[in-house]
Amino acid sequence: MPQRPSEPEDLARWGAVDRYFGTLLGDSDAALDAGLRAAEAAGLPSIQVSPLQGKLLHLLARACRARRILEVGTLGGYSTTWMARALPPEGRLLTLELEPRHAEVARANLVRAGVSDRVEIRLGPASDSLAALLREAVPPFDMVFIDADKAGYPGYLEASVRLSRPGTLLVADNVVRRGDVVEAGSSDPSVLGVRRMAEVIAADPRLLATVVQTVGVKGYDGLAVAIVL
C-alpha cells in the first residue's frame, strides 16, 4: 500500500512551514485571531481556510481590484474578513450562509474586524440566494469564492458564471480532498460534486482554469482558480 498523505508526520511538517511563512510574512492580527476564538467558543467547525490561504484570497482580490465580491459559505466570517479587507471603502462583499448560528458569529466577527459596513450576509440555501441574485439582475461580481457544501459546487459554479463579467476571478476551495478527487468510482457526494464542477468548468469555453494543490495546517487539498473570458 502506498503511504497516504496527511499522515501525522506530514501534517507536522506542513504546519511548521505554514507557521514559518505566516510569521515571517504576516498572516494574522488581533481581530482575525479573536474571530477564530469566537467561532471555536460557539462550537463552529474549524474548517475555515488557513491563515496563508486567507491572505492568498486577499491578494487575489487586490490583484483583480475587486469592488464586488461574492462568497458562497460564510462560516464564522474568516475568509470573508480577509477578502473584505481587500475592498476599497465603497466596495461590497455579499456572503451566502445556510446556518443562522454561523451567520450570527460571522456578523459579530465582521463588526470586530471593522468591515461590517462592506459586508452583507444572506441567510438560506445558497442555491436559493443565487437564484434570487439572478432574478434581481445584480451588477456582475469581480471575484467569487465558492466554499459551501461540495455537493452544491456544480450549481454554484454555473450561477457564479452567470453573475460574472469577462475578467471575473472564480476560486473554489477543497477540490482535491487528500487526493480523493481522482476516485472516479467514489460514492462520496463531496467528491462527486467537485468532479462534476470540474467537468462543468472544462466544458465551458468561457472559462480558463487551473488547480493548485495545497498542503499546510489543513492537510492536503487544493483550490480551483478560473477567469471568465
Read off the C-alpha cell for 71.
462568497
* Residue the block writes with cell 511563512: 21
173 binds ligand DHB (CB under 6 A): yes
Amino acid at 154: P
Rounded-to-10 torsion of CA 132, 133, 136, 138:
180
Shortest Cβ distance from residue 160 to ligand DHB (Å)?
16
Distance (Å, rounded) from C-alpha 97 to C-alpha 89?
A: 23
- In terms of CB distance, is 91 or 146 closer to ligand DHB? 146
174 binds ligand DHB (CB under 6 A): yes
- In terms of CB distance, is 4 or 61 closer to ligand SAH? 61
71 binds ligand DHB (CB under 6 A): no
Read off the C-alpha cell for 154.
456544480
192 Cβ neighbours under 8 A, 6+ residues apart: 151, 186
Read off the C-alpha cell for 83.
477578502
- In terms of CB distance, is 39 or 161 closer to ligand SAH? 39
Shortest Cβ distance from residue 49 to ligand DHB (Å)?
6
Distance (Å, rounded) from C-alpha 148 to C-alpha 57?
A: 16
88 Cβ neighbours under 8 A, 6+ residues apart: 67
193 binds ligand SAH (CB under 6 A): no
Site map (CB under 5 A) of Mg ion, residues 122-161, x = contact: -------------------------x--------------
173 binds Mg ion (CB under 5 A): yes
Binding site for ligand SAH (CB under 6 A): 47-49, 73-75, 78-79, 96-99, 102, 125-126, 147-149, 152
Contact residues toward ligand DHB (CB under 6 A) are 47, 147, 173-174
